[in-house]
Amino acid sequence: MQTTQTTTDTTSQDSAAYAPTDRTVPTRSKERASYDKESVHRILDEAYVCHLGFVRDGAPVVLPTLYGRVGDRLYVHGSTGSRPLRMAGAGQEQADPGLKVCLTVTHVDGLVLARSAFHHSINYRSVVVHGTAYQVTDPEEKRAALDSLVDHVVPGRTADSRPANAKELAATAVLRLDLDEVSAKARTGGPNDEPEDMDLSHWAGVVPLRKGYDALIPSADLAPGIEVPDYLA
Amino acid sequence: MQTTQTTTDTTSQDSAAYAPTDRTVPTRSKERASYDKESVHRILDEAYVCHLGFVRDGAPVVLPTLYGRVGDRLYVHGSTGSRPLRMAGAGQEQADPGLKVCLTVTHVDGLVLARSAFHHSINYRSVVVHGTAYQVTDPEEKRAALDSLVDHVVPGRTADSRPANAKELAATAVLRLDLDEVSAKARTGGPNDEPEDMDLSHWAGVVPLRKGYDALIPSADLAPGIEVPDYLA
């Protein structure tokens, strides 16, 4: 497509995708990988938790946690006493060695039932981010990061909740992770059975997983007269 | 409860729970952690993918992958060419240094909307397993492990699919991870707002996430006359 688009320059082409690296090119099923920002952001924005990996005493640790996205930057937060937050150091970026992390987000979309046990699989979409996370020390960036975390749970919710006060801000540490070394991976479609298995009598196909919401559960102590906001209806 | 149960000996009590360690006792929200096997197994059995963390060149890597459980043992699999499988070495356990891993499974059950931005949260259930994964070399254990992976996707499916042949078994590597250093963690219930925020006019409560299945999608090339099996109905 690019060859016929005379208005496309290399700058805009570069900004639409993350550059593949040794770590983000899979050793297998390369055709499932993609690097365009739109795909990556869509997968990130649709999930609620990521799995954050870091190394502690030479061993891996993987913890589920909330996150927020602002452009090409992700934020995770935690108590100032929590392990990964403490490990990431505090101080300025120049002096802060940061914390090597791998942040992964996965959607399971369907169960793939093949005629052969071997070809059973899962339809999924995932994003894997490699990088170094740094503590956010700038107060303005920290507040925007925390807003992005709340708005990630429910878009628009920041504007309809009591903002964090000084004590809460002080108790919360925020880590910043730039989206730079990133890839998306997805499997879609039905089973890939072997040609010689096509006549077997086993049912084959996909069991799609449905995601949705159940009826809201208002807090037991919710004051009378508080209506459900439009963004939850 | 144990004090009134004279038939309970320490053996059965021990076998009903995993022993907490430094790594499995959280630094915060200790009341959310549990170690009883029933809770751990239920969370593991209900999810489809885990997030497997390992260390590569000094940096963490977190990948989503299928898994199976047989008693107090988990199995993950992959191509013999995939990175974590190659890194775990082959050969006997005595010579195999294994691969340090952290395997995490998370269910997101609800979005917790508090009156204050600070107290927004997620209701979740998670299991974190720390340990060393070893390649499975015993052919019988390997076959049983692969069965557990397929039956984890759809219970009973192994019996209704063409078993792996020698070529497929040779192409597949399986890692074994003993459930030993394990904890479950869960958050349930509504928001924990500050007393001074209770009169604010923001809606507060929980948005429960619904999980289910959509209509089956049979393979386009499914032979006519193959009915949907009972275990999918």
Task: Please give the average per-residue pLDDT across A196-200, as a whole number.
Answer: 95
A52 inside 8 A of chain B by CB: yes
Burial string for A197-227 (b: 16+ CB within 10 Å, else e) reads: beebebbbbbbbbeeeeeebeebeebeeebe
Contact A37/B at CB under 8 A? no
Look at residue A6 in the predicted model and tell me its pLDDT.
Answer: 38
With cut-offs at 50, 70 and 90, classify the pLDDT of residue B50.
very high
- Per-chain mean pLDDT for chain A: 90
Q: Which among A100, A111, A232 has CB closest to B60?
A: A100
Q: Does A149 touch chain B (CB under 8 A)?
A: yes
Mean pLDDT of B185-210: 96
Residues A155 and A1: their CA atoms lie apart, in Å, by 34
Scanning B12-31 for CB atoms below 8 A from A yields 23, 27-28
Q: Which of A101-110, A117-126, B13-22, B44-53 has the lowest mean pLDDT?
A: B13-22
Contacts of B103 in chain A (CB under 8 A): 62
Distance CA A121, CA A1 (A): 33
What average pLDDT does this structure show over B20-34?
89
Strand partners, B217: A206
Q: For A221, which residue in chain B has the nearest alpha carbon? A: B198
pLDDT at B3 over 50: no
Give the model's pLDDT for residue A180: 97
Which superfamily does CATH assign the domain made up of B18-189 to?
Electron Transport, Fmn-binding Protein; Chain A (2.30.110.10)
Percent of the residues in chain A that have a pLDDT greater than 90, as a whole number? 81
pLDDT at A2 over 60: no
From B160, B203, B208, residue closest to A202, measured CB to CB: B160
Could you read off the pLDDT of B94-134 as tens digits, one per residue? 567 899 999 999 999 999 999 999 999 999 999 999 999 99
Rounded Cα distance between A176 and A92, Å, is 13
- What is the overall mean pLDDT for chain B? 90
Q: How far is A107 from chain B (nearest CA, A)?
A: 9
User: Residue A203: pLDDT above 60?
Assistant: yes
Which residue from B121, B30, B226, B72 is spatially nearest to A65, judged by alpha carbons? B121
CA angle B107, B110, B112 (to 5 degrees): 130
Mean per-residue pLDDT for B9-17? 60
Q: Taking the CA of residue B134 as centre, how many other CA atoms within 13 Å lie in the half-sphere pointing to its CB? A: 14
Q: Which residue in the set B118, B198, B203 is minimally distant from A228, CB to CB?
A: B203
Which B-chain residues 182-201 have CB contacts (< 8 A) with chain A?
A: 190-191, 193, 197-201
| Four-point Cα dihedral B94, B97, B102, B105, nearest 10 | -50
* Binary contact (A199, B223; C-beta < 8 A): yes
pLDDT attached to residue B178:
98
The pLDDT tens digits for A81-126 are 777 766 765 544 456 789 999 999 999 999 999 999 999 999 999 9
Instruction: Give the integer Cα–Cα distance in Å for B75 and B204.
Output: 41
Which CATH superfamily includes the segment(s) A17-210?
A: Electron Transport, Fmn-binding Protein; Chain A (2.30.110.10)
Q: Which whole number is the average pLDDT over B184-208?
A: 96
Task: Say whether A28 and B79 touch across the interface (CB within 8 A).
Answer: yes
Indicate the range of A40-49, A126-135, B223-232 predicted with least confidence: B223-232
- Least Cα distance to B148 among B213, B85, B77 occurs for B77
A224 touches chain B (CB under 8 A): no
Q: What percent of chain B has pLDDT over 70?
A: 88
Question: At residue A10, does pLDDT exceed 70?
Answer: no
What pLDDT score was predicted for residue B13? 47
Residue B47 DSSP SS3: coil
Chain A residues within an 8 Å CB radius of B58: 55, 100
Residues B59-67: what's their mean pLDDT?
97
The whole-number pLDDT of residue A128 equals: 98
Determine, for residues B216 and A207 on separate chains, whether the beta-carbon distance falls below 8 Å. yes
Residue in A27, A48, A217 closest to B82 by CB? A27
- ipTM rounded to 2 decimals: 0.90
Report pLDDT digits (tens) over A12-22: 445 799 999 99
Partner residue facing B118 (CB), from A118, A164, A199: A164
Domain ranges of chain A: 17-210
pLDDT of residue A92: 46
